[in-house]
Amino acid sequence: MGRRVTLAEVAARAGVSPITVSRALRRPDTVQPETRARIDAAVAALGYVPDPAARALATGRSDVIGVLIPSATNAVFTDVLSGLYEGIAESRFDVQYGITRYDPATEENLLGVFLRQRPAGLIVAGIDQTPAARRLLDRAACPVVQIMETGPDPVDMMVGFSHHDAAAEATRHLIARGYRRPGFLGARMDPRTRRRFAGFRAVAEAAGLYDPDRSETTETPSSVGRGGELLRALLARHPDTDAVFCNNDDLAMGALFEAMRLGIAVPGRLGICGFNDLEMMRAAEPPLTSVRTNRFEMGALAAKMIRARLEGRDPGPALVDLGAQVQARASTAGPAAGD
């Protein structure tokens, strides 16, 4: 194994002090361009790699922003990560993320791992932490941003939207389009999903259109195939169901494919609405209505809030509600459409 190049060796090769090298690496804008060029050349020639552990010990924190998300393959969270990287662009910060797999115990363990590394900040998806995880976040010696949701008791800062209100707006859209026997399709049934279901139920009940048996849910993970299975099961019990609000876009796409297999006209016989507004919703035929959640913006804003706090600037309001918007498309044009 090769020997680690030291900061002093870089300084000697560049003809400057170790303190100047350190400052150039942490805050390049504070060092003269000619000096910075010599230091950059020395770093490249020697293959110097800064030691984040040493920096954390010296300064009390690293330059890493820790991010906890449930999944790295779900497009919802890849959009969030894209926003995060945009938010730290041209800064000294890096992102390190951990995957909780929707498991509270895993989230607790990862929080402990990240906090031991003295992160510059933490970004955590959701507001449903266990008491132990909440205690870890409350005691964190760094800025914390909860994303993807809003709630009444932020740990520190929060940027997201109300899942209940977004689902309620989607349900109002279905009713306004003339659907009178709406159903709900849900998978995994985690707290965010349950809040979406509550929003659907509240609006349907207020309109006198809620049937407790016109919902098909499962604790198993969501997928396109699962959406087809859920719609098939719902229609077997209630073939007169004329619209479904789906917990996410995977289920909505699966419901569309199942409707096609069954020869059910969308939107004339069945309206379909998803949630998250992934690209495939616009590309489907017919294009599928969905609820747009501002995921890229959430990630970018969370990173900028942490940067502002660390740089001594005002990060703005502690709680930012970006809202969610129904993107109406042909799949919910109304029960008469296509007849």
pLDDT of residue 270: 98
pLDDT > 90: percent of the chain: 78
pLDDT classification of 62: cutoffs 50, 70, 90 = confident
Asked if the model's pLDDT at residue 57 lies above 50, the reply is no
Q: Does 62-161+295-323 match 163-293 in CATH topology?
A: yes
Distance CA 232, CA 259 (A): 8
Mean pLDDT computed over 321-333:
98
User: CB under 8 Å, gap of 24 or more: what pairs does 176-180 form?
Assistant: 177/243, 177/271, 177/332, 177/333, 177/334, 177/335, 178/334, 178/335, 178/336, 179/242, 179/243, 179/271, 179/332, 179/334, 179/335, 180/209, 180/242, 180/335
* Fold classified for 62-161+295-323: Rossmann fold (3.40.50)
List the chain domain ranges: 7-50, 62-161+295-323, 163-293
For the entire predicted model, the pTM comes to 0.83
pLDDT digits (tens, 9 = 90+) for 261-315: 999 999 999 999 999 999 999 999 999 999 999 999 999 999 999 999 999 999 9
Give the model's pLDDT for residue 30: 82
pLDDT at 53 over 90: no
Fold of the 7-50 domain? 434 Repressor (Amino-terminal Domain) (1.10.260)
CATH code, residues 163-293? 3.40.50.2300
The 10s digit of each residue's pLDDT in 78-123 is 999 999 999 998 888 999 999 999 999 999 999 999 999 899 999 9
Query: Which pLDDT does position 1 carry in this prediction?
Result: 47
